[in-house]
Structure 1
């Protein structure tokens, strides 16, 4: 891109801030109408709720604001790249997206979309696409060299189903072909795909792996979300919760940038809300089998005991292992005596327990929960580079 084109891109920032979501909504409608096969790739519940549109609007705005040096967005781009690789996105699909994006700019902005502006955005998108294709090519190559890994979708059999709480079921997934499966870092996720009868096409979703690695199975632990409107947020989880042992589901290789290095000697402080416990469960189980057994403090919050997944497992570990200390918060306490604390997490109250030299902090839960705990850690003196978080769904937070 030349200097004039970059200035044109930066000049669209105010428009993106005020009307960007209208543009992106139009873009998605245009693209999915003309390329309905993409409905098998895009999360249509996030489309219905507007989450995907909001996330892409924020991403386009961030790219425009940093057009002089897009490298500052590399961590975000790597996170997006991981998601794309887990969905088996191919380079030619970037052409489809680019064509519809430029056409949408032209049709929505009308007379304001000059030939110079369209050319500038075409150049900008092409550069971004090449960055993403390069990032993803490296990931595909790395995965192809990994023992037990695979490209694309692979059939897995549901070998066992365990009810972890009133809302969460764990699904033990074994490869149908009986071959090796890929190792992963604790905290990473799988993409799983199945046909959704109510929609008439397949849908993929990402679920954190909730165990440490073994060569026999993966375990994902899925909350059954309540349905809302015609295409509910929880349509996939509702279908998954009806599946039986012996049924198969498509799975892609482990991916994700939110993980704890099992060879690190840093203490861990884990902070979770609700089903956000799943990737942290993987970290705890990995720590249990590691040689160094890092000091770990786990602070978990949920509505009540009935929805507390892995409750008994963590209580048992807490009583048996001196490296683990856990604190549990319930909004509503049971009638009998419990070690749980009533109310919501306030990290300031536990400053002495969680502020540990050299610790790495991992937060997972709903968006507002992540924001609150992140800000609390900053106020308590934790540096941003020591805090990691996982936001389920389209990435919209940029706290680091």
Structure 2
């Protein structure tokens, strides 16, 4: 816990620091990568550096954590720390790396704010940083322990057993262990990191949700072609090839009760939903389940047939789908043309709503859910981009 004096200093300086955080974050990453270039090549998502998404995430996380010290909210703090810790664990982040971040972050703060960083101000923000860092270190240590691995030792080599085309721009890979070893178990809704060697020598990492059943010794992922790592997987990875992947992590999990479920997704965001549905089918789950999916068109929809088959295999599940482009099939409410609109959808107030998809979709669906009277603590979601901080600031997972 930070001291009351530190809270007072934070309250007085937060507006100025928060306003400068985007510049501080850019300067920090410039310093960090100049001193440790391999971090940009082999750990950080360099595409997010080019678009400045990652500096926005860093600035947003620090600002949000600072606000939560002044206006405590245990649920929101838990959301922030848990989501970041799972991402860090999937990348193999270790405790010693927080000291490296601290060195370059505070050098950036001094460079941008100059004389405004008095010893008192520096001490307060230093205390805030280590409060957040130590929470993350503790949570990441617990995740590594639960996974049965040493901190950072999350990587393994797997073999591609099957490659299957899901749509014109999406493929699935079935992965199996090498050398007669078993793959670690995972919870439905979790993801793995995949690291690929690119032509310029970089080893870039991205996360992909596990879509297959949990009760078999193989992992399945779906990959949409939309960046340098996914392009590598689409063009160069086939049956018999090996991949470097992480232990499964991720905090999107089915709530531990038998309340009704609503699973809403868009595009390749259906992959966590496929994983959740496979688990529900394995359990022969009899609760009421509504599956809602939005896509650009039926021809480009990944997992289209599998989604319908899984819903049909459940005793009390329904499927509604929206397509931006297409022709009305006359299938009553089952298929609609246009973007997902929940205004005439009835949702049980006891239901858990799990939302998976790109940033704009997540925001729009949350607004619709609030309009339908769905409580914030009944909404759970998955996203791999910087949107998680804006969503985290608005509520809890």
Report the TM-score, using the length of structure 1 for normalisation.
Answer: 0.91
Provide the rounded CA distance (Å) in 1 between the counterparts of 2:238 and 2:291: 32
Q: Give the alignment of 1:119-198 within 5 angstroms.
A: 119-144=123-148, 151-198=153-200
Match of 1:27 in 2: 28
Provide the rounded CA distance (Å) in 2 between the counterparts of 1:319 and 1:195: 40
Structure 1 residue ranges without an equivalent (≥5): 226-233
Is 1:314 aligned to residue 307 of structure 2?
yes
SS of 1:203's equivalent in the other structure is strand
Question: Which deviations, in whole Å up to 9, do the C-alpha atoms of 1:53-85 show, x marking residues without a partner?
Answer: 111111111122222448551221011111111
Shift, 1:46, TM fit = 0.9
Provide the rounded CA distance (Å) in 1 between the counterparts of 2:314 and 2:216: 25
Match of 2:231 in 1: 238
Provide the rounded CA distance (Å) in 2 between the counterparts of 1:93 and 1:325: 47
Is 1:65 aligned to residue 60 of structure 2?
no
CA contact 2:169–2:225 (8 Å) conserved in 1: yes
Change (3 A) 1:9 1:174: same
CA contact 1:16–1:57 (8 Å) conserved in 2: no
Match of 1:383 in 2: 375
Q: Give the alignment of 1:41-56 within 5 angstroms.
A: 41-56=43-58
CA contact 2:223–2:230 (8 Å) conserved in 1: yes
Number of residue equivalences: 385
Provide the rounded CA distance (Å) in 2 between the counterparts of 1:16 and 1:43: 25
Shift, 1:208, TM fit = 0.7
Provide the rounded CA distance (Å) in 2 between the counterparts of 1:367 and 1:79: 16
Match of 2:241 in 1: 247
SS of 2:265's equivalent in the other structure is strand
Provide the rounded CA distance (Å) in 1 between the counterparts of 2:250 and 2:354: 14
Out of 110, 132, 135, the residue aligned to residue 106 of structure 1 is: 110
CA contact 1:193–1:202 (8 Å) conserved in 2: yes
Q: Give the alignment of 1:68-83 within 5 angstroms.
A: 68=70, 69=72, 71=74, 72-83=76-87
Shift, 1:36, TM fit = 1.1
Provide the rounded CA distance (Å) in 2 between the counterparts of 1:139 and 1:317: 30
Match of 2:93 in 1: 89
CA contact 2:355–2:381 (8 Å) conserved in 1: yes
Change (3 A) 1:151 1:267: farther
Is 1:304 aligned to residue 297 of structure 2?
yes
Match of 2:345 in 1: 350
Match of 1:229 in 2: none
Shift, 1:335, TM fit = 8.5
Change (3 A) 1:41 1:320: closer
Shift, 1:278, TM fit = 0.4
Provide the rounded CA distance (Å) in 1 between the counterparts of 2:136 and 2:80: 11
Provide the rounded CA distance (Å) in 1 between the counterparts of 2:233 and 2:343: 38
Shift, 1:32, TM fit = 1.1
Shift, 1:327, TM fit = 0.7
Match of 2:277 in 1: 284
CA contact 1:158–1:174 (8 Å) conserved in 2: yes
RMSD value over aligned CA atoms?
Answer: 2.2
Is 1:360 aligned to residue 352 of structure 2?
yes
Change (3 A) 1:320 1:176: closer
CA contact 1:317–1:324 (8 Å) conserved in 2: no
Is 1:273 aligned to residue 266 of structure 2?
yes
SS of 1:349's equivalent in the other structure is coil
Provide the rounded CA distance (Å) in 2 between the counterparts of 1:280 and 1:5: 43
Provide the rounded CA distance (Å) in 1 between the counterparts of 2:314 and 2:147: 35
Bigger Cα displacement from structure 2, 295-304 vs 15-24: 15-24
